């Protein structure tokens, strides 16, 4: 997040991100006609159903993660701030063949997301955080940036 905020972008060269995009585009090829891509300025939602106010987030991962739910909650937060009523989300895991509803719990979720944003802001105002242990970096798009040249 810190590197991204400093405009150091590695995603386009990341094979893992490319794989994720490919899965999103090929798993549900009929989607583009049915739902919309929504550019919120600070975030882009790949699939949004304007009739039901539902965000569909496709994950290539073969395990569910709290970060996935947090990402969708953040989208719902942004949508509600823009005046979209009763936004909701669905996480979709094609590899696991499961979907998971992500509800928006109004004030409670708003408080939680705003706390995350405060914590994120504190990180961004500091200097570059220390690297994580390498074992936690394998799937990070900044892997080459952080670890090239090291054994
Ligand atoms: S490669 Fe590791 S240390 Fe570098 S940004 Fe990613 S998670 Fe952080």
For residue 130, how far is its CA from the centre of ligand 1 (angstroms)? 9
Give me the residue label for tokens 């891509």. 37
Look at ligand 1, atom 5, and give the residue with the nearest C-alpha: 142
Among 140, 148, 149, the mutation site with the greatest number of ligand 1 atoms within 8 A of its Cβ is: 140
What is residue 76's predicted lDDT score, i.e. its pLDDT?
97
Greatest Cα-to-Cα distance within the chain, rounded to the nearest angstrom: 52
For residue 82, how far is its CA from the centre of ligand 1 (angstroms)? 32
Give φ, ψ of 98 to 5 degrees: -135, 155
pTM of the model: 0.81
Which SS3 state, helix, strand or coil, does residue 142 take?
Answer: coil
- Those residues whose C-beta lies under 8 Å from the C-beta of residue 76, and which sit 6 or more positions away, are 55, 87, 88, 89, 102, 104, 109
Q: Are 79 and 44 in contact (CB under 8 A)?
A: no
Which SS3 state, helix, strand or coil, does residue 122 take?
Answer: helix
For a pLDDT cut of 70, what percent of the chain falls above it?
Answer: 84
Write the pLDDT tens digit of every residue in 111-146.
999 999 999 999 999 999 999 999 999 888 899 999
Domain ranges of the chain: 2-123
Q: Is 70 in the pocket of ligand 1 (CB under 6 A)?
A: no
Look at ligand 1, atom 2, and give the residue with the nearest C-alpha: 137
Phi-psi region of 53 (alpha: psi -120 to 50; beta: other; left: phi over 0): left
């Amino acid at each position: 997040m810190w590197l991204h905020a400093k405009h150091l972008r590695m995603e386009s060269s990341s094979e893992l991100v490319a794989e994720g995009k490919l899965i999103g585009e090929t798993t549900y090829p009929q989607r583009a006609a049915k739902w919309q891509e929504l550019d919120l300025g600070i975030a882009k939602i790949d699939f949004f159903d304007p009739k039901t106010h539902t965000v569909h987030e496709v994950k290539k991962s073969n395990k569910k993660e709290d970060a996935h739910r947090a990402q969708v909650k953040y989208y719902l937060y942004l949508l509600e701030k823009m005046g979209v009523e009763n936004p909701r989300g669905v996480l979709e895991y094609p590899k696991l063949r499961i979907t998971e509803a992500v509800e928006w719990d109004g004030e409670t979720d708003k408080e939680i997301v705003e706390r995350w944003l405060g914590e994120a802001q504190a990180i961004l105002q500091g200097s570059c955080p220390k690297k994580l242990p390498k074992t936690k970096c394998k799937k990070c798009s900044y892997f080459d940036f952080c670890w090239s040249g090291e054994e």
